[in-house]
Amino acid sequence: MPPEESLSPVAPVAAPAPREAGAGYAAAARALSALPRLGAAEPPAEPSAYPGLDAALRRAGAEALLPGGPGGLALPLMLAALRPGAAGWLGQARLAALAAALGLPEAEAAALLDTPPAPPASLGEPSRWAGRQVPLRAPGGAIAWLDLFWRADGRHGRARDRHVLAARLALPGTGRVEIRARLEEGRLDAVMETAQALSRAMAADLAEGFAALLRRLRLEGNLTLRHAGMQAGT
């Protein structure tokens, strides 16, 4: 079995035209900056913890929109994560069906999906971060929830041009998954760490999905894959 280091990092994607890269980066940065930051007040229930939400999403016909479903991973993930609101992502008909399945008014169903997750203590001060939970279609058809967080990075006096991103989820086949990334001046570089080593096929799928995401955003970048055992030298 080849060493795990052979999976890391994934080869960079070729650079797009400068004007296209600038436009793609600007669109992504605007979307990240427009979303509200997390406050210190007692938060409402996160979408992943709401009883019956997974089944209600299926009954509402939302599975077709989920990352990892029929539309693939990259584009559905981008649309779900950078959406201005649940209504714009699901569409009015699916939102109405979701609300009916949950027994909630449409405005409450939309607010539920847009409730941000609580950031982990490792990210520091929570008010600096914005966040969103994104439902994914996991292997086997189950719904898994991705906790996604981001903030502007103003360490160099140019916060509008730099964003730091973090994500976490748990999947049946890989266990805990954590992602750290930086969006900076036309580049998106990410490190994904899993609790267990990934198969070569899964690593290749992730590389392909990340490359597709970069092309959609017209960015350059790298994805590095690691697993927890690599830190212990296994």
The answer, yes or no, to whether residue 234 has pLDDT greater than 90, is no
Nearest to 114 by CA among 43, 62, 56, 182: 43
Lowest mean pLDDT among 54-63, 108-117, 193-202: 193-202
pLDDT given at position 191: 93
Nearest to 187 by CA among 160, 222, 216: 222
- Rounded CA separation 217/28 (Å): 7
pLDDT given at position 124: 83
Find the mean pLDDT for residues 149-164: 71
Q: Which pair of tokens denotes residue 207?
A: 């590389």
The answer, yes or no, to whether residue 36 has pLDDT greater than 80, is no
Q: What is the pLDDT of residues 85-104, one digit of tens each?
A: 888 889 999 999 999 999 99
pLDDT given at position 15: 52
pLDDT given at position 92: 93
Predicted structure pTM score: 0.70
Nearest to 90 by CA among 64, 71, 69: 64
Q: Which of 4-8, 123-127, 184-188 has the highest mean pLDDT?
A: 184-188
pLDDT given at position 72: 80
Rounded percentage of the chain residues whose pLDDT exceeds 70: 75
161 C-beta neighbours (distance < 10 Å), count: 17
Beta strands 175-184 and 223-227 are unpaired
Nearest to 224 by CA among 186, 181, 169: 181
**How far, CA to CA in Å, does 125 sit from each of 17, 47, 76, 178, 184?**
37, 22, 30, 19, 22
The answer, yes or no, to whether residue 195 has pLDDT greater than 90, is no
The answer, yes or no, to whether residue 34 has pLDDT greater than 90, is no
The answer, yes or no, to whether residue 42 has pLDDT greater than 60, is no
Mean residue pLDDT of the chain comes to 79
Residue pair 149/129 in contact by the 8 Å Cβ criterion: yes
State the amino acid at position 119 in one-letter form: P
Q: Which of 69-73, 110-114, 152-156 has the highest mean pLDDT?
A: 110-114
Lowest mean pLDDT among 39-43, 96-100, 211-215, 221-225: 39-43
pLDDT given at position 8: 45
Q: Which of 77-86, 152-161, 224-233 has the highest mean pLDDT?
A: 77-86
